[in-house]
A and B are shown apart, each in its own frame.
Chain A
Amino acid sequence: MMPKKHSFPVGTFILSILVVVGLAVVIYRYIYGLGAISNLSDGRAWGLWISFDLYCGVALAAGGFTLAGAVYIFNLKKYRSVVRPAILTAFLGYTLVILALLVDLGHPWYIWHIIINWNVHSPLFEVGMCVMFYTAVLALEFSPAVFEGLSKSNLPVVRHINWHFPWRVIRAIQIPLVIAGVVLSTLHQSSLGSMLLMMPETLHELWYTPILPILFLISAVAVGPAMVIFESTLSTRVFGHKLDIDVLSGLARVIPYILGLYLLLKVIELTAVGELGLIFTAYPQNLLWWGEIIIGVIVPIILFSMSDVRQNRSAVFWTSVLIIIGLVINRFNVSMLALGMRPGYFYFPHWMEFAVSVGLVADALLVIWLAHRFLPIAHQEQIVEAEI
């Protein structure tokens, strides 16, 4: 399973540079304050990092709990081979969220205050707790791969440790872990919607609804499989272990049902409160609404309902890309573009804000590359189960 040789020098070199630039910006921030590296202001207190790293990052990590739930709880064994990559991506997604918060928060070193000072009425308290616990759960869910990797390593001290012991322990609690992961994700995905419920006066009517938490959860469940298709297709291209088309089309098959439910709820809600007309009249916000709905919902529903599309690898891939783009537009809409600002302010991200976010993504890609290189990610389970 060696990566193609050319992927090392060019790709990883560029990624490393991006990580270093991001890191330099972060150091600059700790010396001169957030104002020096961002265009955030009292009028727009949350910007690119919250919209992209937090809102999109968490939603795009949804492949972890959807696939883990499908395989271990619903016993859909067919998708076993994509669980580990999905959990790794989810874990990295959550790590990125935390790293981005270390830049975005005013006093990241006091983040533990949330453990001792509880405000159970705050949606952000729920978000914080979920991030903490779910990141731990994801780390444990992924840890068997690390133990397997370590047990095969030839490093001086490491090879004398019995890595099968922790491996067995994690295996024994695997089902409770997966259930905890599903519960925490349900709460966390929806709580990001609850967070916006505090802004009934500033979030545009096209998006503000008391059922935002439910919409957030459903859209995350829909983008989970799309994200898994996206990643596994890319890793197929880079690392060369080909995935069964049956797995891809199976994932693609469920997506229209979830997206259909999502669209239905959105339209029913707007109709119920008598705001459906806004999708034609509320210019320019309605363009954003149509953008996310057409790109991320309607077109994917149509495409994935066609069996020709589901049997074609690149069609499945590109349709998944549409779903991901649609979700990103949606999360940017609710957390930035359709969220009113204080009068007299303007916001467009500073280049250093982009540098931090890009650096973090580059960081994750490097870790994925290293993991595929050194850990049994794709074809692991048969090997170890045969050993024991």
Chain B
Amino acid sequence: MTLAVLYDANKCIGCRGCQVACKQWNENDEFIPTEENGVQSKNWGSNENPPQLSARTWTKIRFTELDYNGKFHWVFTKLQCMHCEHPACVTACPVGALEKTPEGPVIYDDTKCFGCRYCMLACPFGIPSFEWDSPLPWIRKCTFCADRLGAGLEPACVQTCPTKALKLGEREELIAEARERINTSPDKYINHIYGENEVGGTSWLYLSPVPFEMIGLPTLGSEPVTLDAERAMGAVPPVLMGVAAAMSGIYWVIKRRERISRERTEEKEEVTK
């Protein structure tokens, strides 16, 4: 059984209680995006704040104003690690510092990490952050509150959500429930559960009144992004053996040919003598 969270953009009121709860539980100090703190603070034309996820902001609500089907929409999108079923970061990490637990969370072990940041490039959702301002920097991202789950608690953001826009549950059950919500009010939702199939499925699932590319979630295929890389890595042992054998063989053949031709010339010399 893997755990998942269903986020319903129709139920979210954009209060950002989840952002605050996340910072409190994970002891991410107050984040004041000012220029003194090295962060550009500027008016983005909305209540959205801070502008990006970062090593101290593991979740945030994105505000999008848009026109869809001739109607004005103000849509909130909760951003955090998607906790993929086939996480690119886990395959990318050379030292196995990232791990997909059987319960669902993708967790990070900073006793293994050496800060190469490959996970940040590999992530198709652009989630892992790095502590750029620290001389001892680590990767930081949403943990799915794996520590709370272990103690039988809901993630901090889920527990704090006042409108039940976030729901923790078993992944298959949540998908069924999401489908039911779409079927009951097809005029309120588009017929797409984001995360059901994206990059092989994620543990965070989204429902929205508008297409997901309009609220800035990347359009992704249903194949895990790790497939080609894993195939290439599977070819490494045969290539290693093959090239070693080929090179040894070529060396042997060329040396032998050289020896034989040398012997022949020597024989000829003897004959002529």
Contacts and interface: CB of A to CB of B under 8 A. Distances in A.
Contact of A122 (B55, B94, B115, B130): B94
Given A194-B229, A201-B218, A106 B137 contact: yes
Interface in A293-345: 339, 342-345
B228 A42 contact: no
Interface stretch (A28-36, A228-236, A258-266, A268-276): A28-36
Contacts of B139: 106
B51 to A, nearest CB: 7
Interface in B201-248: 216, 218, 220, 225-226, 228-233, 236, 239-240, 243-244, 247-248
B188 interface: no
A106 B232 contact: no
Contacts of A75: 254-255, 258
B120 interface: yes
B131 interface: yes
22 contacts: A30-B135, A36-B133, A69-B247, A75-B254, A106-B113, A106-B116, A106-B131, A113-B95, A113-B114, A114-B94, A117-B112, A123-B232, A124-B93, A124-B116, A125-B94, A179-B248, A194-B232, A198-B225, A199-B225, A200-B228, A201-B220, A202-B124
Interface residues of A, number: 64
Interface residues of B, number: 61
Contacts of B230: 121
A98 interface: no
A124 B225 contact: no
Contact of B133 (A35, A113, A114, A186): A35
Given A34-B137, A113-B113, 7 more contacts: A73-B247, A74-B250, A106-B130, A123-B229, A183-B247, A195-B229, A201-B218
B129 interface: yes
Given A34-B137, A105-B115, A194-B232, A124 B94 contact: yes
Interface in B137-153: 137-139
Interface string B82-97: 0000001001111111
B130 A198 contact: no
A126 interface: yes
Interface in A149-203: 175, 179-180, 182-183, 186-187, 190-191, 193-195, 197-202
Interface of A: 29-36, 40-43, 45-46, 69, 72-75, 105-108, 110-111, 113-114, 117-128, 175, 179-180, 182-183, 186-187, 190-191, 193-195, 197-202, 210, 213, 339, 342-345
Nearest to B38: A35
A117 B96 CA distance: 7
Contacts of B117: 45-46, 106
